Amino acid sequence: GPKIEGNQSTPDDPAVVVPSVFIMGDSQAYTFAYSAVFPLASQGIVLRGQPLLGCGLWLGYDRHQRGDRVLPGPVDACQQYPTTWPVLLAEREFNIALLYPSLWDMLDKEIDGVWYRFGTPEFDALWLEQMRAALRIVQTPDRKLAIFTMPYLRSDWTDLCPSCVFVESDPKNTDHL
């Protein structure tokens, strides 16, 4: 995915800590970062990350389901963040990390032939494991962490696909995530 970088300048006063923000997530994280990078850079704040389009934070599943559509698991690029994030994080002293879960993380998942349905205790337990794994990569004692909440995304696609269920279009689902 594209890399997003802000202004690399530092303030004249070395005692002032310049916020340096690393953002992770999918196309929603990319959209946020793209719209924020220049206003933040004008304030001396560095924003960098590697959000990937169509990639959630969930690793290691075989297939996922959206409505009545069963789709293949994530592409290889989506599975690379455990190795790519540490490299990017080592390039700079990031003092803030933003983690952005997405609708890809809400979809029912098949793992080793067993389906895990969004909102069930089994799904939730696995999702917490996934989040903890992502957090272990970015957390340090000196880095603040923020986790975005999944936004409610109203979908008007039901006319195109009446049998589809858009989990991101139900506020109780986005609140649950």
- Distances from the Cα of 166 to the Cαs of 62, 107, 158, 173, in angstroms? 20, 9, 8, 10
What's the gap between Cα 27 and its chain centre? Answer: 8
Using alpha carbons only, give the angle 75, 76, 81 rounded to the nearest 5 degrees: 115
The Cα 119–Cα 165 span in angstroms is 14
User: Does pTM surpass 0.85?
Assistant: no
Burial class (CB in 10 A: 0-12, 13-18, 19+), 161: middle
**Crossing angle of helices 121-138 and 81-90, rounded to 10°:** 30
Asked whether the CA dihedral 84, 86, 87, 93 is positive or negative, the reply is: positive
pLDDT at 25: 83
Tens place of pLDDT for every residue, the chain, 177 residues? 344 444 444 555 656 677 888 888 887 888 888 888 888 888 888 888 878 777 888 888 998 887 778 888 888 888 888 998 898 888 878 899 988 888 888 889 999 999 999 999 999 999 999 999 999 998 889 899 998 887 766 666 666 666 666 677 677 777 777
